Amino acid sequence: MIGRLNHVAIAVPDLDAAAALYRDTLGAKVGAPQDEPDHGVTVIFIELPNTKIELLHPLGEDSPINGFLAKNPSGGIHHICYEVDDIIAARDKLKASGARVLGTGEPKIGAHGKPVLFLHPKDFTGTLVELEQV
C-alpha cells in the first residue's frame, strides 16, 4: 500500500536557525517558508537527493506543534510521511484493519498541494504517520 518515503518532519523552536543549520552547516538546498494555516504550521522543505526534510514551526496559538515543543523544547522528529497512490482506498483499508485516522477521516490538502491524512501514533509503534496521495 505505502510507496516511497516522502519526508521526515522535524518540529523546531526556531525556524530560521534550523533552516540556516541545514543550509550553511550541512549544505542542503533549503526552500522558502510557507504558512499552512489549515494545519497550524509554517514549513520549510529541505531537498535531499532521495527524500525531503520538513521543518515545522507553530503558526498561531492553536498550532498542534506548540504541544509537541512544550514536551520537546529543543524540537525533534514529529512525523514521517509515506506516499500512497489512492488516499481514500488506503484510508478505507487501514480503517477496516483497525487503524485510527486522525481528525474527521477526510483528507486535507497538505503543504505539497496534495491530499493528506494522519494516522494515530499508538497504532504505528509510537510514530505519527502522514499519508500523501501522489
Question: Domain residues of the chain, as ranges?
Answer: 5-133
* pLDDT single digits (tens) 108-125: 999 999 999 999 999 999
Cα separation, 57 vs 43, in Å, equals 6
Check residue 84 and give its pLDDT.
98
Give me the sign of the Cα torsion angle 107, 112, 114, 119: negative
Q: How confident is the model at residue 89 (pLDDT cuts 50, 70, 90)?
A: very high
| Contact status, residue 130 vs residue 54, Cβ threshold 8 Å | no
The catalytic residue among 47, 106, 130, 132 is: 130
130 is catalytic: yes
Please give the model's pTM, rounded to 2 decimal places. 0.94
* pLDDT single digits (tens) 10-56: 999 999 999 999 999 999 999 999 999 999 999 999 999 999 999 99
Q: How many CB atoms lie within 10 A of CB 63?
A: 20
3-state secondary structure of 124: coil
CATH 3.40.190.10 corresponds to the domain 5-133: no
